[in-house]
Amino acid sequence: MSRVEVRPLETADLADCGALLAARHRRHRTAQPLLSPRFEEPDAAVAELTAAFGTADASGAVAFRAGVPVGFLLGAPKPSPVWGPNVWVEAAGQAVTDAEVMRDLYGVAAARWVDEGRSAHYVLVPAHDTELARAWYRLGFGQQHAHAIRPATGPVAPPAPRLTVRRATRADIPMLARLDVELPVHQGRSPVFSAGQVTTVEENLAEWANDIDDPAYATFVVEHDGEVVGSATGCALELSSSHAGLARPENAGFLGFAAVFPPARGLGAGRALGEAVIEWAADSGFDSVVTDWRVTNLLSSRAWPALGFTETFLRLHRLVGY
């Protein structure tokens, strides 16, 4: 096999790279048919890639073998300080004909990223592509997060005994505000160790007072013996900035939040909340439901696959210099 040549990605490369991206998405949909068919078409894939290339400070690399493009890699930083001095390879940011080529692409692209001071690298990889994921693992990356999907089908099983699920009301705002704190607190503990911001109950009370009647969101609470012990929220996936482009299925609902107070964990409250959001999505006419979780969150990484969610993308992470 002839030698791979790699150089920085340029505007003139986008059409050829878009064709590689469309081919990757066609393979991905064989494993996950609920993903959008739109990006199987080269024109749509090129448009998505062109938009990503136009993001501020975007850069990457393209690989050729005997003059033929065989892969590309494209990343751009996010302004949020939560992610550190970062660069992100989003869902449209990579495609290769041979997984090993990705290691050469990263070798060129990451040199610029690190020279720019961007030492925290995040990559979305199609979950079905084990060879590509392995190439990233051999570049020092580990899995941090999972995106997943399931059909929006109902009806669902009734809650476990002594549990009742219902829509939230204004009277539930104090408990909703406390539950909004519970999730980031849990994520900050072992073994997740997330650096996400923890809001205060007071901040959440004010936010819920404004948002409880917003028809774009469906909020549920679960009661155990009449006491609220958990909550969950569903909405249209378009309202989530974390699921965009090739990672955004058509006509999908989103299980965007769920939390249960520690004393009530293990009673089936989380499962009951997830099933309530799935049933709401089905009743609302959505074709599928999407969610995501930190893979080190022992609760959600077990609860959501048990409800039939299967992985679509893996978020991998590397912190350079340690």
CATH number at residue 78: 3.40.630.30
pLDDT at residue 85 greater than cutoff 70: yes
State how many domains the chain has: 2
* Mean pLDDT computed over 65-86: 94
Sheet (strand 217-224) strand order: 86-89, 120-126, 310-319, 142-151, 288-294, 252-260, 227-236, 217-224, 163-167
219 and 114 assigned to the same domain? no
Question: Strand, coil or helix: what is 174?
Answer: helix
User: Between 160 and 114, where is the model more confident?
Assistant: 114
Residue with tokens 């936010």: 207
135 and 155 assigned to the same domain? no
Chain segment 26-56, per-residue pLDDT in tens = 999 999 999 999 999 999 999 999 999 999 9
192 and 131 assigned to the same domain? no
Among 140, 174, 203, identify where a domain stops. Answer: 140
Residue 87 is assigned to a structural domain of this protein: yes
197 and 96 assigned to the same domain? no
Give the pLDDT band of residue 225 (cuts 50, 70, 90). very high
pLDDT at residue 308 greater than cutoff 80: yes
pLDDT at residue 290 greater than cutoff 70: yes
**C-alpha atoms less than 13 angstroms from C-alpha of 81 in its C-beta half-sphere:** 1
Alpha-carbon gap, residue 233 to 277, rounded angstroms: 7
pLDDT at residue 105 greater than cutoff 80: yes
Residue 26 is assigned to a structural domain of this protein: yes
99 and 213 assigned to the same domain? no
In contact, 212 and 170? CB cutoff 8 Å: yes
Alpha-carbon gap, residue 219 to 147, rounded angstroms: 21
Q: Hey, what are 70's tokens?
A: 């065989």
Residue 322 is assigned to a structural domain of this protein: no
* Mean pLDDT computed over 239-243: 92
Give the pLDDT band of residue 174 (cuts 50, 70, 90). very high
Residue 119 is assigned to a structural domain of this protein: yes
Mean predicted lDDT score pLDDT of the chain: 96
Residue 318 is assigned to a structural domain of this protein: no
Alpha-carbon gap, residue 39 to 202, rounded angstroms: 43
297 and 157 assigned to the same domain? yes
Residue 316 is assigned to a structural domain of this protein: no
265 and 193 assigned to the same domain? yes
178 and 267 assigned to the same domain? yes
159 and 136 assigned to the same domain? no
pLDDT at residue 1 greater than cutoff 90: no
Q: What is the structure's pLDDT at 154? A: 67
Q: What is the structure's pLDDT at 156? A: 72
Q: What is the structure's pLDDT at 155? A: 63
Residue 294 is assigned to a structural domain of this protein: yes
pLDDT at residue 138 greater than cutoff 80: yes
Residues spanned by the domain of 55: 4-140
Among 110, 140, 170, identify where a domain stops. Answer: 140
192 and 270 assigned to the same domain? yes
Residue 319 is assigned to a structural domain of this protein: no
